[in-house]
Amino acid sequence: MFNDIGPLELVTIIVLAVLVFGPDKLPKVIQDVMRTIRKIREFSESAKQDIRSELGPEFKDFEFEDLNPKTFIRKQLENDELGLKEIRNGFDLKKEMAEVTDAVHGRDSGSSSSSSSSSSSSTGGRVDMTKKPQTPGDDDRPPFDADAT
């Protein structure tokens, strides 16, 4: 419950409590606070049990912590019922990026994949971003129209 409170903070809270309530009333205040915390815990546990009983037997292993999105996703990734690990392992980001750059530069993906595989094998699987892209020949360019510019 108090996992994130350090020793210095705890001492500060105790000193403030003694100063505010005084040493005579402090034990009574602590008892009242503890009683209130117990009642809140009992109320929340009974509410959880009521919800579980109302949901039915198919939700008997339902945990309210699973409603936290991070916990839910972590639990689903551990189960891997959807085969997400196979999808993640089958996705090659370098190949996809090479195809996208080839499409942007207007190169044929079949010829670039063979050239990218030879260049990636020589560079250890890295794409050299310092090289200028290959420009198509002069005959591939559209004619210059001085009136259009």
Whether residue 70 is contained in a domain is answered as no
Q: What is the DSSP string of 79-95?
A: H-TT-HHHHHHH--HHH
For position 71, what pLDDT does the model report? Answer: 81
* pLDDT confidence band for 127 (50 / 70 / 90): low
Half-sphere exposure of 18 (CA within 13 A, CB side): 6
Percentage above 90 pLDDT, the chain = 19
Whether residue 38 is contained in a domain is answered as yes
For helices 109-122 and 93-105, give the axis angle rounded to 10 degrees. 130
For position 55, what pLDDT does the model report? Answer: 82
Q: How many domains does the chain have?
A: 1
Whether residue 105 is contained in a domain is answered as no
Whether residue 29 is contained in a domain is answered as yes
For position 83, what pLDDT does the model report? Answer: 65
Whether residue 4 is contained in a domain is answered as yes
Range of the domain at 28: 1-60
| Rounded-to-integer distance, Cα 149 and Cα 111, Å | 34
3-state helix, strand, coil in the chain (%, to 5): 70, 0, 30
Half-sphere exposure of 35 (CA within 13 A, CB side): 6
For position 53, what pLDDT does the model report? Answer: 84
pTM of the model: 0.41
46-49, long-range: CB < 8 A, 24+ apart: none
Distances (CA, A) of 146 to 4, 82, 138, 139, 143: 71, 58, 17, 18, 10
| Rounded-to-integer distance, Cα 51 and Cα 120, Å | 57
Tell which wins on pLDDT, 137 or 98.
Answer: 98
Whether residue 135 is contained in a domain is answered as no
Find which of 16-20, 36-40, 60-64, 86-90 is predicted with most confidence, using mean pLDDT. Answer: 36-40
DSSP state of 101: H
Whether residue 102 is contained in a domain is answered as no
